[in-house]
Amino acid sequence: MDEKRKFKFIFCAFTLLMLIGIVGYMYLLKVSFVDALYMTVITISTVGFGEVGTTSSQSEIFSVLMIFLGVGIVGYAFTSIVAMFVEGKVVDLWKGSKMNRKISALNDHYIICGSGELAEVIIKKFINENLDFVVITDNRADLDDYSHHNILVVEGQSTEESVLEEAGIDRAKGLLATLDTEVDNIVTVLTARNLNKDIYIIANSTSQSGNAKLLKVGANKTLSAVEISGKRMASLMIKPNIISFLDVVTRIGDVELDLEEVIVKKGSYLEDKNLIQSQIPKKTGLIVLAIKKIEDEKMLFNPPVDYTFKIGDVLIVLGREDQVDKLRHLGDEIKNMEE
């Protein structure tokens, strides 16, 4: 029995004992509610204060039963709470309540299901990107490790609706299923899709047939970590120069270049400008590789220089993080210079 259930059990047992005592003494001794409460408390605590009302053999037997029940429940409650204090479990419960409040305040966050090696890579990436996310795992060691590193975590299995709801599935932006078995990933995706029709789901497939199953139950995208690793190893052997370039793009190594998305927003510097007018390479040093057009959501690779940006277009750019940030705030910088 975990600590939360212990507290709930102790509270429910003690409340039930008090109710039984009050109702029993009111009936047997024909006394008021306050007097019955008084009798219940002194009987359970065995303090030996004076009794109220006219006792009978029935009330005395009832008192004996109340004493045995009281000593058992109070004794169990006392030893359990002391043990939790000694083991630091009370502090863990307080941390858990604090964590639940933080999770309840999240919106448009991500949910990572699982805590294996694949999940660890995703967690590190999300931390580096300063994204809001919640991890779901039933691994006790990982739970303790995540909580000590201020990572929001929910204990349980992501295949259960209640656990996903505790992680804020109804408010989440995306979910990543990285569990060890195909069945768990399928059930997780199916459950998550039923709880949130709009959430974007990416699932890890451990078999070739798993991709189709995961897509059928509601995943938006599927990936096979084994397949990707195998293809990469083969390509590294066959085409090492191409892979070296990809390593630069995906930041595997010391070069800090990355592929980033920049959305054209209303009133931004890019609105109604084309590639020549915006002078993105000159002003920021970024390379525009592609544009996802808002009108048909198609990807335009190596876009022509006369393409005019529209609100909602997504630019795929290659460069450093500071260069991307500069592009996003380029309009503000120009306004400040003009003022």
Residues 38-86: tens digit of each pLDDT:
888 888 877 766 677 677 788 888 888 888 888 888 777 777 766 666 5
Structure tokens, 91: 């502090």
Region for residue 152 given its phi and psi (left: phi exceeds 0; alpha: psi -120 to 50; beta: otherwise):
beta
Q: Within 13 Å of residue 114, how many CA atoms lie on the same side as its CB? A: 22
How many residues are listed for the chain in this entry? 339
Query: Which residue among 227, 248, 271 closes a domain?
Result: 227
Do residue 75 and residue 118 come from a single domain? no
- How many domains, the chain? 3
In a domain, 92, yes or no: no
Does 234 map to a domain? no
% of the chain exceeding 90 in pLDDT: 35
Question: 321 with 274, same domain?
Answer: yes
CATH code: domain of residue 56: 1.10.287.70
CATH of the domain at 297: 3.30.70.1450
If asked whether residues 195 and 120 sit together in one domain, one would say: yes
Residues 178 and 123 in one domain: yes
In this prediction the pTM is: 0.59
Main-chain phi, psi angles of 189, to 5 degrees: -65, -45
Same-domain check for residues 150 and 223: yes
Domain termination residue (choose one: 207, 227, 247): 227
> pLDDT averaged over the chain?
83
Residue 264, CA atoms < 13 Å, CB-side half-sphere: 23
Nearest in space to 81 (alpha carbons), one of 20, 160, 6: 6
Strands 287-292 and 314-319: antiparallel
Q: Tell me the C-alpha distance between 172 and 335, whole Å.
A: 35
**Banded pLDDT at 11 (limits 50, 70, 90):** confident
**Residue carrying structure tokens 């690793």:** 229
Q: What is the CATH number of the domain that holds 129?
A: 3.40.50.720
Q: What residue numbers bound the domain in which 121 lies? A: 106-227
Whether 59 and 145 map to the same domain: the answer is no
**Greatest mean pLDDT among 39-53, 137-151, 281-295:** 281-295
The one-letter code for the residue type at 230 is G
- Domain match, 78 and 113 both: no
Q: How far is CA 164 from CA 137, 146, 172, in A?
A: 11, 18, 10
Is the predicted pLDDT of residue 245 greater than 70, yes or no? Answer: no
Which tokens belong to 78?
A: 């006392």
Report which residue type is found at 273: K
What is the spatial distance between Cα 300 and Cα 310, in angstroms, rounded to a whole number? 13
Would 299 be classed as within a structural domain?
Answer: yes
Instruction: Output the pLDDT for position 78.
Output: 76
Of 87, 120, 136, the residue that ends a domain is: 87
Average pLDDT over residues 213-218: 92
Q: Which two three-digit tokens encode residue 264?
A: 């054209």
Structure tokens at 35: 């007097």
**In a shared domain, residues 270 and 330:** yes
| Contact indicator for 248, 241 with CB cutoff of 8 Å | no
pLDDT at 191: 96
Kindly state whether residues 115 and 197 are assigned to the same domain.
yes
Angle at 307 between CA 305 and CA 309, to 5 degrees: 125
Residue 241 lies in a domain: no
CA dist 176 and 200 (Å) reads 9
Same domain, 8 and 67: yes
Give the mean pLDDT of 307-315. 92
Token pair belonging to 167: 């992680």
Measure the CA–CA gap between 191 and 178, rounded to whole angstroms: 15
Q: Is residue 82 part of a domain?
A: yes
Residue 1: the pLDDT is 44
Same domain, 217 and 134: yes
- Does pLDDT of 160 surpass 90? yes
| 132 and 222 housed in the same domain | yes
- What's the whole-number mean pLDDT along residues 160-182? 94
Residue with tokens 């932006």: 173
Question: What is the mean pLDDT of the segment spanning 157-168?
Answer: 94
